Amino acid sequence: MAKTFTIDGKVVPFEEGETIIQAARKAGVYIPHLCYHPEFKPHGSCKLCTVKVNGWQTASCTMRAGENMVVESNTDELNSERRTLTQMLFVEGNHFCPACERSGECKLQATAYDLGMMTPHFDHFFPNRAVDASHPDWMLDFNRCILCSLCVRASRDVDSKNVFALTERGIKTKLIVNSKSGKLGDTNFSVTDKAAQVCPVGVHIRKRRGFAVPIGERRYDKAPISDLSHEAAVEVK
C-alpha cells in the first residue's frame, strides 16, 4: 500500500522523500508555481506554490509529503494571495506583455491569467535595467527577471558553468553573469546550455528568431497553465 495524503480532498499517493508538488503533479493536481522546475533542486523563493498543510502555510516545492497530511491548495484564500504575488512580480519589474516575444509562452503571464489577475493593483516600480545584447546569439532582458534562479541552477548544476548568479539584496537583488565586464558575450555561455531553456519568463531571448509562432497560437494561448497534461509534455522533454 502506497502512502497517501490529500489535496483539497483528493487522495494522492507519494513515495518517501517526494515533495508535495512532485506527488501532486504525478496525480494530475496543478499547484501554481514559477521558480519550481521538476528537473532542478527546489528553490522555494517565488512562494506561488504555497499551500496549507494541516492548517499551516508552507511552500509545496520544498515541503516533503507526509502520510495523512491534509493539504489545501485550490482555495479562494490561497489563490487570492497567489494573485497578489503575481501582481507584486509584475510591478517589481518591467513587464510589457503585448510587446514581449515570450507572450503566450510566459509562465508569469499564464499564471496571472489563470489566477484571474485583472490589474497590477500596486504602483509600478519602473526599475531602470539595461538589456544585455553582447552575445552573438542570445539576449538578456533583465526587465523581465523574476529572480527565480532557474538559469542560475541550470548553469551551475547541469552545464557546470556558473554563468549566472544573483547579487545585491532586497528589492535591489539582480541577476548577473560570470564575466569581468558583466556581459554575457564575455562568458562561455552557449545557446545549447540548459540554462538557455529554463527561463519561465522572457529574460532569455534567442536572437534572429522572433515570433516564429504567432501570438494567439502559443502554448498558453491554447490551454491554460493549469492544464497539466499539456504542461508536462513541454517540461519533461
Partner 1 sequence: MSNNQSESVTDVVERVVAKHGRDATYMVQILREVQEVMDWISPEVMDELQAALGVPRTKIEGVAGFYSFFYLEPRGRYRVLFSDNITDRMLGNRVLLDRMCSNLWVEQGKLSEDGLVSVDTTSCTGFCDQGPAVLVNNVAITHLTDERIDQICDLIREQVPVVDWPTEFFEYQDNIRRKDLILNSNIAPGEAIRAARARAMAPSAMSLGRGDHARAEVESLRMRALSPVECMPATHENPGGSVTLISEMRRSNLRGRGGAGFITGLKWEACHNAPLKPGQQRFVVCNADEGEPGTFKDRILLNAYADLVFEGMTVAALAIGARRGFLYLRGEYRHMKDHLEAVLSRRREQNLLGENILGVQGSEFDIEIHLGAGAYVCGEESALIESLEGKRGTPRNRPPFPVTHGYLDQPTIVNNVETYASAALIMIMGGEAYSRLGTPKSAGTKIHSISGDCERPGIYEYPFGVSIAEMLEDCGARNVQAVQIGGPSGVLLAPSEFDRRVGFEDVPTAGAFMVFNNGRDMFEVAKNFTHFFQHESCGFCTPCRVGTSLLTNLMDKLDSGHGSPYDFNEIEKMNQLLLSMSHCGLGRTACNPVLHTIAKFRHVFDKRLMSDDFVPAFDLDKALAVARQMTGRDDEGAHLKTMVSFGEH
State the DSSP string of 140-171.
EEGGG-----HHHHIIIIISS---EEEES-GG
> Between residues 29 and 51, which has the closer beta carbon with respect to partner 1?
51
Does residue number 50 form part of the binding site for partner 1 (CB under 8 A)? Answer: yes
Neighbours of 164 (CB within 10 A): 26
Q: Which of 12, 24, 59, 205 binds partner 1 (CB under 8 A)?
A: 59
> Between residues 39 and 227, which has the closer beta carbon with respect to partner 1?
39
Does residue number 17 form part of the binding site for partner 1 (CB under 8 A)? Answer: no
State the DSSP string of 192-219.
TSGGGG--SSSSEEETT-TTSS-TTSSH
First to last CA, the chain: 30
State the DSSP string of 81-96.
HHHHHHHHHHHHTT--
Q: Which of 8, 18, 30, 91 binds partner 1 (CB under 8 A)?
A: 91
Q: Which of 27, 97, 158, 165 binds partner 1 (CB under 8 A)?
A: 165
Q: CA–CA separation, 126 vs 90, rounded Å?
A: 10
Give the per-residue contact string, 177-196, with partner 1 (x = CB under 8 A; - = no): xxxx----------------
Q: CA–CA separation, 216 vs 72, rounded Å?
A: 33
Q: Which of 44, 120, 185, 224 binds partner 1 (CB under 8 A)?
A: 44
Q: Which residues bind partner 1 (CB under 8 A)?
A: 42, 44-48, 50, 57, 59, 62, 64, 81, 84-85, 88-89, 91-92, 122-123, 125, 146-147, 162-173, 176-180
